[in-house]
Each structure stands twice: as structure tokens, then as C-alpha cells.
């Protein structure tokens, strides 16, 4: 799997349909044919949520 945010292959599975990109530090949830991407800042707070089809 590639990160839909930064296109990196450095993505690990953290459970069920949940993945984490080690390059851009985003959490990726797969829901059917859509991605929900949560971007975090350096302190662990959610910075931005994106929906990608």
C-alpha cells in the first residue's frame, strides 16, 4: 500500500482497516473505496482530516 497523502511505501498496518505512514505521520483509515486521512502535528494533535475517494 502507498500513502495517499505523500505516496510513500513506508506504511504500516496498526489494526483492522487502519494504517500509519512513517514519512508524513498520517493515519489512514480505509472505508470501502475511500480513505480517511488524519494528519498529526509533532505533539500528537490532529492537524487536518481529509477524505479521499
Q: What is the pLDDT of residues 12-29, one digit of tens each?
A: 999 999 999 999 989 999
Q: What is the pTM of this model?
A: 0.81
Share of the chain above pLDDT 90, in %: 64
Q: Where are the alpha helices (DSSP H) in the chain?
A: none
- pLDDT band with cut points at 50, 70 and 90 for residue 2: very high
- Max Cα-Cα span within the chain: 30
Query: What's the confidence (pLDDT) of residue 30?
Result: 94
Nearest C-alpha neighbor of 4 from the set 27, 17, 14, 16? 27
Query: What's the confidence (pLDDT) of residue 29?
Result: 95
Share of the chain above pLDDT 70, in %: 98
Long-range contacts of 43-51 (CB under 8 A, 24+ apart): 50/5
Amino acid at each position: 500500500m502507498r500513502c495517499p497523502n505523500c505516496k510513500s511505501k513506508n506504511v504500516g498496518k496498526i489494526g483492522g482497516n487502519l494504517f500509519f505512514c512513517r514519512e508524513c505521520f498520517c493515519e489512514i483509515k480505509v472505508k470501502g473505496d475511500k480513505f480517511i486521512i488524519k494528519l498529526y502535528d509533532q505533539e500528537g494533535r490532529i492537524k487536518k482530516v481529509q477524505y479521499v475517494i
